[in-house]
Structure 1
Amino acid sequence: MTNRLNASLERILPEKRLFLRSDDDTRFVRLRPLTQLAALGGITLAFGWTLVASSILAIDAMGAGSSRDGIISTQAAFEQRLTQLSQERDARAAEALAAQSRFTAALEQVSQMQSQLLSSEEQRRELQAGLDVVQSSLRDALAEGKGGQQALADATGTDAATDPARRAEVTAALDILTGELRQAADERATAMQEAEEARHAVQELSVEREQILARNDEILTQLEDAVTVSVEPLDQVFRSVGMNPDDVLATIREGYSGQGGPLTPMGRSTRGDAALTNSETKANQIIVTLDQMNTYRIAMEKLPLAMPVKQSFRYTSGFGRRWGRAHEGVDMAAPVGTPVHATGDGIVIHAGRQGAYGNLIKIQHELGVETRFGHLSRINVKVGQRVSQGELIGAMGNTGRSTGPHLHYEVRMKGRAVDPMSFIKAASNVQ
C-alpha cells in the first residue's frame, strides 16, 4: 500500500535525498513522496491553526478594549435619563405645591364666606326680632289709637280721623325695616352663591391635586425601578471578581464621609396626606439607591478594569495550573517594545528587577488590589509615582524566566492572586 501511494505521488512530489557529509563519511536521508506529503500537511495545518487562533485572540482583545468605553457611554446615557426623570419629578412636585397653595387659599375663602353668611343670618334674625317687636308695638299703638278715637267720638259725638303725623311715622318705620330685611336677604343670597362657587373650586382643585400626586407617584415608581435595575449589574461586577459589595461600599463611604455647614431647625409637614407621605418615602429610597450607584461608580473607577496592552497581541498562557505549577497571571505575547499601560489609577510600589519576573512593575490600587507587570524591556515609572489608568508605564520584553517576548500580567487582592480576566471581562456586565 505504501509503495503504491509513493508511486502515485512520484509525479507531484519526486523523491528527495538529504545528504549528511562528515570528514570521513557521507550519509543520506531519503525523503519519499508520502513523507513529504505528511510534512507539508502538518505545516499547513499548524499555519492555519495559528491564523485562526490569532484572529480569535485579536477579536477578544478588541472587544475587551472597548468594554470600558461601553461602560462610560452606558453610564452617561443612564445619568441623562435619571436627570430627565428628576427634572420631571421636580416639576410635578412644584405643581403639587402650587395646587396645595390654591387649595389652602380656597379653603380660607370658603371659611370667610361662611363667616359672612353666619353674620348675615344673625343680622337677619336680629332684624326679624326687631320687626316683630315693632309690629307688636304698632298693633298696640293702633289699638290704643282706635280706643282713643272711639272715646273722643263718644265724648264729642263726632268720628275723628286717624292722626296723619302718627300714620306717617309708622309708615316710615315700616319702610326702613323692610329695606333692612331686603338688604339682609340679598346679602345672604350673595354669600350663599359665593360659598357654592368656592365649594366647586375646592373640589376642582382637589381633583387636580390628586392627579398631580398620582403622576408624581408614577414618576417616582419609574425612577425607583430604573435605579434598582441599574444597581444589579454593578453589584454583579464586584461579585464576579470575588469582592463583597457591602464591604466595597463601606470602604468607599469611609473615604467620602465629610459633613459640615450651618444647621437649620427641622421643618414639620402639616399636610397630613398619606399619598404625599408615600411619595416622600419613595423619594428617600431613590436617593439612597442613587447614593449606592454613585458609590459603585467611584469604586469602579478605582478597579483595574482596562487592558494593559492596547496593540495587537496573542494570549499564550492563562491563569491556573501550568506544567504542574500555579500560573498566577496571564501571558500576552507581542514584539519587544510593545507599549504597556496601567490598568487603573494607583501608586507604583516597585519598579525594578525581581527574580523570575525580570523587570517588574507593581502598582498598588485602592480596595486592596495590586497589579504586576513582568518581563518588561523598559520601565518608565519609579517607586512612589502616582499613575492614571491608560498611562504608559513600560514596554514589553523578554527578561527574567521567559521563553519569548511577552507580558506577564497579574492581579492580586490583599496578596492573593486572582484571575486577571475576571477583571477584564467584568466590565461587560454593565453594558
Structure 2
Amino acid sequence: MARAFPERRLFLRSDTETRFVRLSPSTQAIALSGSALVVGWTILASAVVLMDSVASDDLRDNAAREQAVYENRLNAMSTERDQAFAEARAAQERFTAALDQISDMQSELLDSETRREELEQGMEIAHAKLRDAIVGRDAALAQKAQLASQVEGEHDPILDGALLAEYQTTIDLLAGALDSTASQRDDMAGEAEEAEQFAEEMILEAQLKEDRNDRIFAQLEDALTISVEPLDKMFRSAGLDTGTLLNSVRRGYSGQGGPLSPISFSTKGEAPDEASLRANGILERLDEMNLYRLAATKAPFALPIMSNFRFTSGFGPRWGRMHQGTDFAGAHGTPIHTTADGTVSFAGRQSGYGNLVKIKHDFGIETRYAHMSAIHVKVGQRVSRGDRIGDMGNTGRSTGTHLHYEVRVGGKPVNPMTYIKAARNVF
C-alpha cells in the first residue's frame, strides 16, 4: 500500500504561518475507494432511472394502443348491435305484414266456405222439390189412369172432356215446375263447380303464403337467437342467474298487452295451430330479449369513464392488503358516469374514500365511486346508466388523481372487470 499510495503532505500557507495535512497511504486508499463507490453508485442509479423511464414510455405506448384497439372494438360492436336491432325491427314489420295477409286470406276462405254451404243447401232444396214434383207427377198419372177407366165405364162424353182438360192443365203445370227445377239445379251445379274451383285456388294460395310465412318465421327465430344468446352469455359470465334475473325484471314490468299479446287465428274456440304457436313463441322470445335489455341497464356492465384513462390497479391483494375495486387514472376533473340504473344511497365524504358516491342497483348490487373532486348527485336521486355523477379527483387516501371503482353483490366486493369483460362482446 505504501508503494501504491506513498505518504503525501498537503501544505496550507497563510500570511503568518504555514501548515500541512499529512495523508497516509490508508487515508489515500479510503478516499479513493469512497470516490470510486460514489461515482459507481451515480452511474448505476442513472442507468436504473433511464431504464425505468424507457419502460414507462413503452408501457404508456402499449396502454394507448390497447385502449385504441378496445375503443375501436367497442365502436364496431355498437355498430353490429345497432344493425342487429334494425334487422329485428325490420323482421318484426315483415312479420306484422304477413299476419295482415294471413288475416285477409282467412276472411276470403271463410267467405268461400259460406258460399259453398249456401250452394249445397240450395241444391238440397232443389233436389227435394224435384223429388216432390216427380212424386206428384206419378200420383197425377195414376189418378189420370183411374179416371180414364171410370170414364170408359160411364161413357159420359161431357164429363170425359172436362176431366181430360183438367188433367192436361195439371200435367202442364207439373211439366213447367219440373223444367224450372231442372234449370235451377243446373245453375246451382255450375255455381257449386265454380265455388269448388275457387276454393282450390284459395287453398293453393294459402299454401304459398304458408311457405312464405314459414321462411319469415325462420328468419325471425334466427335473428332472435343471434340477439338473445350474447345477452344470456353476458349475464352468465358475470355470475348472475338468468332465470332469477328475468323473473325479477318481469315482476317490475308486469303490464301486459300491446304488440306482444298472444296470437290466436282460430275464431271457433279451437286450439292454436302451428303458425299461431310459432308466432307466440317469437313474441315470447321478443319479450325475453326486452327483459334482457331492461336487465342490462340495471347491472353495472358499462365503464365508469368514457374519456381517456388507463388502469393503474386491479382487484385483489396489493401491498399486503386487499384492494376491493379497480383504479382508473385520468386527468383531474374527468367526468365520472354511473354504470347502471339505480338510486344514490350515499353522496359525501368518507374516511379513506374521500368524496364518495354509493348507488344501489337491482339484484342486490351496489357500486361505489371514490376520490372524486366534485359530486353532482344527492342521496335519494334516481340515476340512469351513463349519467354524470361527479368528477375525477385526488381526495381521501390517494397517491394521485384517479377513480376507485367498486362493485358489491350482497354487500361483498367482487371484481368490477368481471362485469365489464362480460359485456365486451355485446355493447
TM-score when scaled to structure 2?
Answer: 0.75
| Per-residue deviation, 1:244 | 0.6
Give the aligned partner of residue 330 of structure 2.
334
Decide whether the 8 Å contact of 2:137 with 2:171 is kept in 1: no
Give the aligned partner of residue 149 of structure 2.
140
Given the alignment, which residue of 193, 196, 218 partners 1:196?
193
Decide whether the 8 Å contact of 2:407 with 2:413 is kept in 1: yes
Query: For each residue in 1:335-392, what CA deviation from the matched residue of structure 2 results, as whole angstroms up to 9, or x when unmatched?
Result: 3222222222222222233333232221112221111112222333333333333232
Higher relative contact order (CA 8 A, sep 6+): 1
Matched, 1:59 2:68: yes
Q: Residues 5-20 of structure 1: matches in 2 within 5 Å?
A: none
Decide whether the 8 Å contact of 1:350 with 1:363 is kept in 2: yes
Give the aligned partner of residue 285 of structure 1.
281
Given the alignment, which residue of 364, 368, 371 partners 1:372?
368
Measured in 2, the distance between the counterparts of 1:89 and 1:140 equals: 76
Matched, 1:407 2:416: no
Give the match's secondary structure for 2:145: helix
Given the alignment, which residue of 76, 87, 96 partners 2:105?
96
| Per-residue deviation, 1:248 | 0.8
Give the match's secondary structure for 1:374: strand
Distance 1:108 1:178, change over 3 A: closer
Distance 1:31 1:52, change over 3 A: same
Q: Residues 184-223 of structure 1: matches in 2 within 5 Å?
A: 184-223=181-220
| Per-residue deviation, 1:409 | 1.1
Distance 1:127 1:400, change over 3 A: same
Given the alignment, which residue of 82, 95, 100 partners 1:73?
82
Matched, 1:416 2:412: yes
Given the alignment, which residue of 388, 392, 395 partners 1:396?
392
Matched, 1:428 2:424: yes
Matched, 1:297 2:286: no
Greater mean deviation of Cα atoms: 283-292 or 211-220: 211-220
Decide whether the 8 Å contact of 2:109 with 2:199 is kept in 1: no
Decide whether the 8 Å contact of 1:127 with 1:181 is kept in 2: no
Decide whether the 8 Å contact of 1:221 with 1:282 is kept in 2: no
Distance 1:80 1:212, change over 3 A: same
Distance 1:361 1:426, change over 3 A: same
Structure 1 residues without counterparts, runs of 5 or longer? 1-25, 150-159, 261-266
Decide whether the 8 Å contact of 1:92 with 1:215 is kept in 2: no
Measured in 2, the distance between the counterparts of 1:27 and 1:402 equals: 40
Matched, 1:363 2:359: yes
Give the match's secondary structure for 2:118: helix
Measured in 1, the distance between the counterparts of 2:56 and 2:312 equals: 16
Measured in 2, the distance between the counterparts of 1:184 and 1:58 equals: 92
Give the match's secondary structure for 2:377: coil
Give the match's secondary structure for 2:372: strand
Matched, 1:83 2:119: no
| Per-residue deviation, 1:122 | 1.6
TM-score when scaled to structure 1?
Answer: 0.75
Measured in 2, the distance between the counterparts of 1:268 and 1:259 equals: 19
Given the alignment, which residue of 327, 349, 353 partners 1:353?
349
Aligned residues, how many? 385
Q: Residues 246-285 of structure 1: matches in 2 within 5 Å?
A: 246-258=243-255, 269=266, 271=268, 277-285=273-281
Matched, 1:119 2:128: yes
Query: For each residue in 1:82-127, what CA deviation from the matched residue of structure 2 results, as whole angstroms up to 9, or x when unmatched?
Result: 4313312322331232133223322322223322332342244234
Greater mean deviation of Cα atoms: 331-340 or 108-117: 108-117
| Per-residue deviation, 1:79 | 4.4
Give the aligned partner of residue 316 of structure 2.
320
Distance 1:67 1:88, change over 3 A: same
What value does the CA root-mean-square deviation take over the aligned residues? 3.9
Give the aligned partner of residue 245 of structure 1.
242
Given residue 229 of structure 2, which amino acid in structure 1 is its aligned partner? Answer: E
**Identity fraction in percent:** 39
Decide whether the 8 Å contact of 2:371 with 2:398 is kept in 1: yes
Distance 1:298 1:141, change over 3 A: same
Distance 1:142 1:217, change over 3 A: farther
Measured in 1, the distance between the counterparts of 2:379 and 2:80 equals: 31
| Per-residue deviation, 1:246 | 0.8
Given residue 346 of structure 2, which amino acid in structure 1 is its aligned partner? Answer: H
